[in-house]
Amino acid sequence: FDFLEKPLSLDRVITIAKNAVALEQLKRENRMLRNRLVNHDQIIGTSAATQKVRSLIDQSAKGDSRIMVFGENGTGKELVAQEIHRNSARAAGPFIEVNCAAIPDTLIESELFGHEKGAFTSAISRRRGKLEMANGGTLFLDEIADMSPSAQAKVLRAIQEMRFERVGGEESISVDVRIIAATNKDIHAEIAAGRFREDLYFRLAVIWIEVPPLRDRPDDIPALADYFLGKFQLDSQGARRRFDAESYRALQAHDWPGNVRELKNFTERISIMADDEVLTREVVEFFLGERSAVQVDSVLQEFGGMRLNEARDVFEQRYLEQKLKDHGFNISQTASDLGIYPSNIHAKIKKFGIKIEK
């Protein structure tokens, strides 16, 4: 950044330090302004369900209370969190997202709190954590129900005190952060099964926002389809395409298990692959039929909207329940059949909250 000549001048040291702080602040503001210039998706629709979500966003944005957002995969939970941030007094601050399902349990502490140089083998330099990066802004904890119990305990302590230490460090760091969390799971079922801490839930769910699936708000589908079609054609050199009235009805009749994300992907595909400027019902049904024409085993269809770890847990629980029933809930026989130790069976019974019939 700069250099100092010996003998050191206190005034020179102070001036350089001030300049360094000012430059870092300018870099931070520049990054935030660039982020704002990104073409963010919007909450589209005029249905009663969407209007209710908008109302909750406007109300909750006024304060600093913690929020939990619930909804199926693809409904737009992250978009809700972004809208709350953009409409809040923290809009000038950072919006930092953490996908809790994507971070291994061994790395979650370093990811959230940062680490000091030499804290572990690969820590070749000091690194700020997501919580520290979100100071003055909003931290979005996506898929928080996928966190391990040990990680949940660390998060609970941090959000209670808004104070933490980097991994390998001794300095206590205080932050001013608003927490928004999201999950696609039935949180009360997760608590009952012992997979999610009830005290963490009560800390996070001061305000509760549920994002409805697309099948429950079909009136929004035409507006969403037009929005995505226009967005994908902005950079296209081809003809401007549009849906006709009958094609909207075909879109509304579809169940959209992947919700808005599936509709967005479908609209992008049809904007590229369709030959006609007017997208008729026949064209829409043809492209929708491409997906349904793919021969997918009926057993796998129900897992289509799930993440891998969620689908694995659902399958493992059902498979284990069936095996236990087959063996009259005899743990030793079930373990022998599955080729695992009885202790593993007991651990999975506890994990999934399986009731043993006597």
Q: Which two three-digit tokens encode residue 189?
A: 């079922």
Same domain, 196 and 339: no
> One-letter amino acid identity for 27?
K
Per-residue pLDDT at 238: 63
Domain that holds residue 22: 10-39
Looking at residue 296, its pLDDT comes to: 47
| Domain containing residue 342: CATH number | 1.10.10.60
User: Residue 245: which CATH number?
Assistant: 1.10.8.60
For residues 168 and 79, state if they share a domain.
yes
Instruction: Check residue 107 and give its pLDDT.
Output: 81
187 in the same domain as 47: yes
Mean pLDDT over residues 149-160, rounded? 88
Does pLDDT of 346 surpass 90? no
Has residue 300 been placed in a domain?
A: no
Q: Which pLDDT does position 142 carry in this prediction? A: 94
Query: Are 279 and 323 in the same domain?
Result: no
Residue 62 lies in a domain: yes
The pLDDT value recorded for residue 115 is 83
- Residue 315: which pLDDT band, with cuts at 50, 70 and 90? confident
Question: How high is the pLDDT of residue 135?
Answer: 94
Do 57 and 180 lie in a common domain? Answer: yes
pTM score: 0.71
- Looking at the structure, do residues 73 and 195 belong to the same domain, yes or no? yes
CATH assignment at residue 177? 3.40.50.300
Centroid of chain to Cα 270: 27
Question: Which of these, 299, 326, 328, lies nearest to 314 by C-alpha position?
Answer: 299
The per-residue pLDDT for 295 is 40
Q: Which residue has the higher pLDDT, 275 or 40?
A: 275
Could you tell me the two tokens for 188? Answer: 């009360």
180 and 228 together in one domain: no
Q: Is 267 domain-assigned?
A: yes
Weakest mean pLDDT among 48-57, 84-93, 286-295: 286-295
Q: Which of 74-88, 178-192, 264-278, 286-300 has the lowest mean pLDDT?
A: 286-300
Report residue 45 as tokens.
């629709």
CA dist., res. 302 & res. 297, Å (int) = 10
Q: Return the higher-pLDDT residue of 352 and 263.
A: 263
Count up the domains in the chain and report the number: 4
The verdict on 178 and 66 lying in the same domain is yes
Question: Between residues 29 and 74, which one has the greater pLDDT?
Answer: 74
Q: Would you call 115 helix, strand, or coil by DSSP?
A: strand
Cα separation, 71 vs 255, whole angstroms: 16
Token code pair at residue 242: 């549009």
Q: Compute the average pLDDT of residues 319-331.
A: 88
- In this structure, the answer to whether residues 164 and 226 fall within a common structural domain is no
**289/262: higher pLDDT:** 262
Top-confidence range, 19-33, 267-281, 284-298: 267-281
- On whether residue 4 sits in a domain, the answer given is no
54 with 131, same domain? yes
Structural domain contains residue 131: yes
Average per-residue pLDDT for the chain: 86
> Bigger pLDDT: 62 or 275?
62
Given a cut of 70, is residue 293 above it in pLDDT?
no
Q: Do 53 and 67 form a contact (C-beta atoms < 8 A)?
A: no
pLDDT at position 38 over 50: no
Contact present, 200 and 156 (Cβ < 8 Å): yes
- Residue 349 predicted with pLDDT over 70: yes
Tell me phi and psi for residue 186, to 5 degrees. Answer: -75, 100
- Got the DSSP string for 154-212? HHHHHHHHTEEE-BT---EEE---EEEEEESS-HHHHHHTTSS-HHHHHHHTTEEEEPP
Q: What percent of the chain has pLDDT over 90?
A: 46
Instruction: Kindly state whether residue 298 falls inside one of the protein's structural domains.
Output: no
Last residue of a domain, one of 210, 239, 261: 210
* Residue at 73 is within a domain: yes
pLDDT band for position 36 (50/70/90)? low
Residue 29 covered by a domain: yes
pLDDT digits (tens, 9 = 90+) for 222-263: 999 999 998 888 766 666 889 999 999 999 999 999 999 999
| Maximum average pLDDT range among 62-66, 117-121, 127-131, 319-323 | 62-66
Q: Tell me: do 268 and 327 sit in the same domain.
A: no
Q: Is the pLDDT score of 4 beyond 90?
A: no
Supply the pLDDT for residue 328.
Answer: 85
Let me know whether 160 and 201 are in one domain: yes
Please name the residues in contact with 190: beta carbons below 8 A apart, sequence gap of 6 or more: 145, 196
Supply the Cα-derived Rg of the chain in whole angstroms.
25
CA–CA gap between residue 65 and residue 209 (Å, rounded): 13
Alpha-helix runs per DSSP H in the chain? 10-37, 48-61, 77-86, 108-113, 130-133, 149-161, 187-192, 198-204, 221-232, 245-253, 259-273, 281-293, 298-301, 308-326, 331-338, 342-352
pLDDT given for residue 19 in this prediction: 83
Task: Return d(Cα 157, Cα 24) in angstroms, integer.
Answer: 30
CB distance 267 to 225 below 8 Å: yes
Strand bridging mode 278-279 / 242-243: parallel
Check pLDDT > 60 for residue 39.
no
**pLDDT over 70, % of the chain:** 90
Read off the tokens for 256: 């959209």
Backbone angles phi and psi of 288, in degrees to 5: -65, -35
Nearest of 191, 179, 185, 167 to residue 106 by alpha carbon: 167
Tell me: pLDDT of 76 over 90: yes
